[in-house]
Amino acid sequence: MIEINFDGLIGPTHNYAGLSLGNLASASNAGRTSRPRAAALQGIAKMRLLMSLGLRQGILPPHHRPDTQWLRRLGFSGSEAEVCAAAHAADPALFRNALSASAMWTANAATISPAPDTADGRLHLTPANLASMTHRSMEWRQTAQQLAVIFPDRRHFAVHPPVPARFGDEGAANFMRLCTQHAARGVEIFVYGEGAGEFGGGAFPARQDRRASEAIARAHGVPDALFVAQSRQAIAAGAFHNDVVAVANENVLFTHEQAFQDRDWLYSELRRRIPDVSVVEVPASQVSLEDAISSYLFNSQLVTLRDGRMVLILPKEAEENPRVKTWLDANIGGNGPIHAAHFIDVRESMRNGGGPACLRLRVAVTEDALAAIDSRFLLDDAKADALARLIEDHWPETLEPAMLAEPDLWQQSWDARAALLDLLGIGRKEIDGQSVVDETTVPA
Ligand code: SUG
């Protein structure tokens, strides 16, 4: 089995609009000037690092933004620019949602059950409805279109429709898989915020509904699923997704002590199902939830290299927090299962609460299934170079909040995306005046 990380290519409208309630970074950076070009290049640099470690890398292109199809469904009409101008004039706050580049956080794009875990031996994918946040609730349409193009072969892949929006689903950000190694049947762990809607009267919403997780496990045909409640404390402290406080890879669970509501039960279940499971727990006495959330220690990529060693890809913020660094120095590279730590700069994304792990969607496949993936969405060094040049040419250098209202920016965003899809050889078709990935075009 080969694990591919599909990173979201950070789109030209990356900005700080403070749209995510419960996401402290998004709230505290609201109104700040963003740097879309630097953001996208930081993302490319992360992908290059993973490739230099010998790992396979994929990309998910940014969505059409402003999302005029969504605005049309809200009753705005006319040309693309007229739709945007009317929406901005009528309701600037609503319009800002249509501009968000949030599809970059592809951990939220879908939930993936690799073939060894499922009853029919296929890889199953369900796009997340992202219903809890207005600016993200429109993503699933374009995500579903992309996934259908990337994973076309029904012998290997099953792409499902999203769960009904009544049940909030945030995709792989609340999903972990533990197994002896990627090729073995895994235990799929679905982490939810207890109940639906508001979390026990707390200030922040729980974004993952247990029923959504159960629906996905059913649809994917996963016999070995565990449904685990995220801790109230973690959500209240700003862990709006489980991947802010825990990450798993093969037989290793790397987690904060306060990530789960009932950790003793979870650990004992895991030990029963996967005898060689290794739980690397960071105690709250050494790293508080607040430190974990501000440094994004756990929003790291835990990956297995070709020689079998496991390494962590962390944001620079984790290196800069003295308590987190002390813990890492004492626990990485010794006798534990994690051999090394790499720190990377994804600060532009981090300021919106998106660390290294948010930016990627993991897809574990066999060689056969890998050959069935549309290679236009797979990255190599030459393509990374070409993408970097395109970003230099087309992505705005800075975005101040007032610029979000400018027709020139909207046009620049559409043009940049069109140039990107052309570079990747991905055809487009118009639906309601909006260009979407066209599954009828064949790979170049
Ligand atoms: O959904 N931020 C994203 C961050 C997603 C992080 N993903 C994972 N943890 N897997 C979110 O809250 C901020 C957008 C804004 O404020 O403009 C935002 O959507």
pLDDT (tens digit per residue) in 284-305: 999 999 999 999 999 999 999 9
CA of 337 to the centre of ligand 1 (A): 30
Ligand 1 within 6 A of CB of 358: yes
Q: Which of the 8 DSSP states describes residue 155?
A: T
Task: Report if residue 377 sits inside a domain.
Answer: yes
- Calculate what percentage of the chain has a pLDDT beyond 90: 89
Q: What is the CA radius of gyration of the chain?
A: 20
3-state secondary structure of 438: coil
Task: Report if residue 200 sits inside a domain.
Answer: yes
Task: Report if residue 82 sits inside a domain.
Answer: no
Task: Report if residue 327 sits inside a domain.
Answer: yes
Q: What are phi and psi of 37, to 5 degrees?
A: -65, -50
Task: Report if residue 252 sits inside a domain.
Answer: yes
- Residues 127-145: tens digit of each pLDDT: 999 999 999 999 999 999 9
Residue pair 375/24 in contact (Cβ under 8 Å)? The answer is no
Ligand 1 within 6 A of CB of 26: yes
CA of 208 to the centre of ligand 1 (A): 14
| Structural domains in the chain (count) | 1
Domain containing residue 154: 2-65+100-441
Ligand 1, atom nearest to 130 Cα: 1
Ligand 1 within 6 A of CB of 23: yes
Taking each helix axis from N to C terminus, what angle separates 36-52 and 381-394, rounded to the nearest 10 degrees? 170
Task: Report if residue 80 sits inside a domain.
Answer: no
Task: Report if residue 43 sits inside a domain.
Answer: yes
Task: Report if residue 92 sits inside a domain.
Answer: no
Q: Which of the 8 DSSP states describes residue 299?
A: S
CATH number of the domain residue 306 falls in: 3.75.10.20
State the catalytic residue, choosing from 139, 170, 188, 257. 170
pLDDT beyond 60 at 201: no
Is 170 catalytic? The answer is: yes
Q: What is the mean pLDDT of residues 266-279?
A: 96
What are the C-alpha distances in Å from 255 to residues 197, 230, 336?
Answer: 25, 12, 14
3-state secondary structure of 113: strand
pLDDT of 376 reads 96
Sorted by sequence, the CB contacts under 8 Å of residue 334 that are 6+ apart come out as: none
